[in-house]
Structure formats: structure tokens, C-alpha cells
Amino acid sequence: MSREPDVVQPDAVTVTVTTEIDVAEARQEARRLALRHGFGTVRAHGLATAVSELAMNLVLHTARGGQIRLTAQDAAEAAVIELVAEDDGPGIPDLARAMEDGFSTRGGLGCGLAGTRRLVDTFAITSRVGEGTRIVCLVRRP
């Protein structure tokens, strides 16, 4: 019997998101990935919701959509999933305002970005007007 390695190959999924159907697919992938790596159903649901928010933003706020990338890495007794949402859309002129609860330029509830930050363990957003937006989140277990 060989010993289980402490770190195995990352488990990665990429979904190109341009329409609402892609959003549904991305969050299904997220949920499956989380369950596959030992996350509980609440955490899996939270991750799927974060993916849903970021993916829906790609559909609503960019002309050509973008990509959702999910990468899971297992370690001994732990796992981490990285969620990257990236687009080359219009960018966000005022990041601080966009992160506020209730701010929306499209008549939404405006809690997508702020809510996502609360759903994940680490949240980072970079955006350049005219170049695009990139959001990186981490979700950890245990």
C-alpha cells in the first residue's frame, strides 16, 4: 500500500458564461465540485450561490460574458476551492460603491457583490474601466 500523497492534483472546471443557461451550469459545477471535495451542503450551497451571483453579473453587466474558473485543491484534512470570475467587459468605475449593499446600475437588489464577499473566506476584486473585471475568491474547509 502506498501512502496517500498530502497534496494531489488540482481539480479544475471552467465554464464560459454568456447566457443564463451558462449560469445554471456554472453553479451546478460549483456545487458538485464542493461536494466532491468534502464540503458540507451548506458550504456547497453558499459556493454555488456565490458562483451564481458572479456569473449572473457576467451576463448582466458585460456585453460578451466571461469565464468562471473553479479549482479545488485537497490537502490533509482540508481543502480549498478557488473561484475566479473574469471578463473583458466595461469594468467598474467606482469599486467602493459597487461593493455597497443595495448599489445596482441595472435595477437589481444590488447585493450580488457584497453578498458574495460575505459568502466566501477571501474576496479580491480588480477592475479597470474599458478593460474588464477580475474577482478571485477562496472557500476553505474545514
Ligand X SMILES: Nc1ncnc2c1ncn2[C@@H]1O[C@H](COP(=O)(O)OP(=O)(O)OP(=O)(O)O)[C@@H](O)[C@H]1O
User: Interface with Mg ion by CB under 5 A: which residues?
Assistant: 57, 112
Which among Mg ion, ligand X, another protein, none contacts residue 67 (Cβ within 5 to 8 A by kind)?
none
Residue 109 found at the interface with ligand X (CB under 6 A): yes
Closest CA to 132 of 97, 85, 90: 90
Give residue for cell 458585460: 62
When asked if residue 111 is in the footprint of ligand X (CB under 6 A), the reply is yes
Beta strands in 3-141 (DSSP E): 11-17, 66-75, 78-87, 122-128, 132-141
Task: Find the part of the chain contacting ligand X (CB under 6 A) among 3-11, 19-27, 35-43, 86-94.
Answer: 86-94
Q: Could you say which of 17, 81, 89, 120 contacts ligand X (CB under 6 A)?
A: 89
Q: What share of the chain is helix, strand, coil (3-state, %, to 5)?
A: 35, 30, 35
Residue 65 engages another protein in binding (rule: CB under 8 A):
no
Q: Nearest distance from residue 5's CB to ligand X, in Å?
A: 37
Q: Give the cell for residue 53.
A: 451571483
Alpha-carbon distances of 10 from 25, 27, 129, 141, rounded to whole Å: 20, 19, 32, 15
- Scanning 17-25, 75-83, 87-95, 128-136 for contacts with another protein by CB under 8 A, the matching segment is 17-25
Q: Are 125 and 99 in contact (CB under 8 A)?
A: yes
Does 46 participate in binding ligand X (rule CB under 6 A)? no
Binding site for another protein (CB under 8 A): 20-21, 23-24, 27, 41-42, 44-46, 48-49, 52-53, 56, 101, 108-112, 114-115, 118-119
